[in-house]
Amino acid sequence: MKNQTTINEFVLLGFSYGLQGQTVLFLVFLVTYMVTITENTIIIFVVNRNHCLHKPMYYFLGNLSFLEMWYISVTLPRFLFGFWSQTKSISFSSCMTQLYFFISLMCTECVLLAVMAYDRFLAVCHPLRYPAIMTHKLCCQLSILSWTGGFSISLVKVSFISRLTFCGPQVINHFFCDISPVLNLSCTDISLAETVDFALALVILLVPLLIIVFSYGCIVSTVLCMPSAQGRRKAISTCTSHFSVVIIFFSATLFMYARPRKIHPFNLNKIVSIFYAVFTPTLNPLIYCLRNKEVKEPGKCCIHLQNRQGG
């Protein structure tokens, strides 16, 4: 150990393809990034500008859209810059910073999705008490809890990883600094950092997932007891978008983080990482907009709401 030199930068290997393959990947990821930023910006704008969308469900949707914009911005611009400049090196501090913000936003999304499930549970199972329970103050508190919880857990995880010593090789077989490829480059014992990371990953994934399962279990039970078919359809329509996002997000993140680090080859890790780090933020706005008439046609929904109130 005394004869080894501590490295202060890494090389992100990315994807090894020919010039034509690199060009295609660059264009695909560039378009994906631009579409994702545009989609989520439009959702935030629509929710803020339309009074009829000033509801808890859309307040949390705005939070999710804001999160998705930063989520994809943590990894993809640096990846695109590497395509363009052929500069694949990244300093140790930049790598740890990227790792911290990526894990923070991912943990925040876990909690936020659980909060959104709890909101749907109250709306469907306790509709009369829903306005009194889900107040603007509680919405703000739950939002703050999501963000502070996610960033706090990530701080603990990354603090243990950053204390490790890295002596080489310095090549990260990934397109961004993720936990698994970084851990496996350490020349010191990673057992403590790996154990802490695995335990916190289980907590931040399983606790929100249990809340989501409980919420949707109650929702299904309530929907089945509804006498009106129209009421059942309306209750289901308010939950299908969120449930679809939950399945996509948690299936990928559980595969990547709630398991020992060396089970799957890194090439498979990179493919799965592309799905949840790049394409999931792109799909989420489409899922919410395509399945939600209030987001697609806020003007008509406002008119319908005014007519109901006037009647």
Q: So what's the pLDDT on residue 294?
A: 64
pLDDT tens digit string along 146-179? 999 999 999 999 999 999 888 777 888 888 888 8
- The list of the chain residues with pLDDT below 50 reads 1-4, 260, 262-264, 299, 301-311
114 belongs to a structural domain: yes
Phi-psi region of 135 (alpha: psi -120 to 50; beta: other; left: phi over 0): beta
1 belongs to a structural domain: no
User: What is the secondary structure of 5-68 as a DSSP string?
Assistant: PPP-EEEE------HHHHHHHHHHHHHHHHHHHHHHHHHHHHHHH-GGG-SHHHHHHHHHHHHH
**What span, in angstroms and rounded, lies between the C-alpha atoms of 40 and 37?**
5
**CATH number for the domain including 140?**
1.20.1070.10
302 belongs to a structural domain: yes
21 belongs to a structural domain: yes
Q: So what's the pLDDT on residue 18?
A: 62
Q: What is the mean pLDDT of the chain?
A: 82
Q: So what's the pLDDT on residue 309?
A: 41
Pair of tokens at residue 234: 């309306």
From the list 205, 190, 185, 175, the residue with the least C-alpha distance to 272 is 175
Phi-psi region of 4 (alpha: psi -120 to 50; beta: other; left: phi over 0): beta
- Please give the residue range of the domain that contains residue 135: 9-310
Q: So what's the pLDDT on residue 16?
A: 67
157 belongs to a structural domain: yes
The phi, psi pair for 10, rounded to 5°, reads: -120, 165
> Total structural domains in the chain?
1
Q: Are 241 and 291 in contact (CB under 8 A)?
A: yes
116 belongs to a structural domain: yes
2 belongs to a structural domain: no
Q: So what's the pLDDT on residue 174?
A: 83
4 belongs to a structural domain: no
Q: So what's the pLDDT on residue 150?
A: 94
Q: So what's the pLDDT on residue 305?
A: 40
**What span, in angstroms and rounded, lies between the C-alpha atoms of 304 and 298?**
10
**What span, in angstroms and rounded, lies between the C-alpha atoms of 37 and 284?**
12
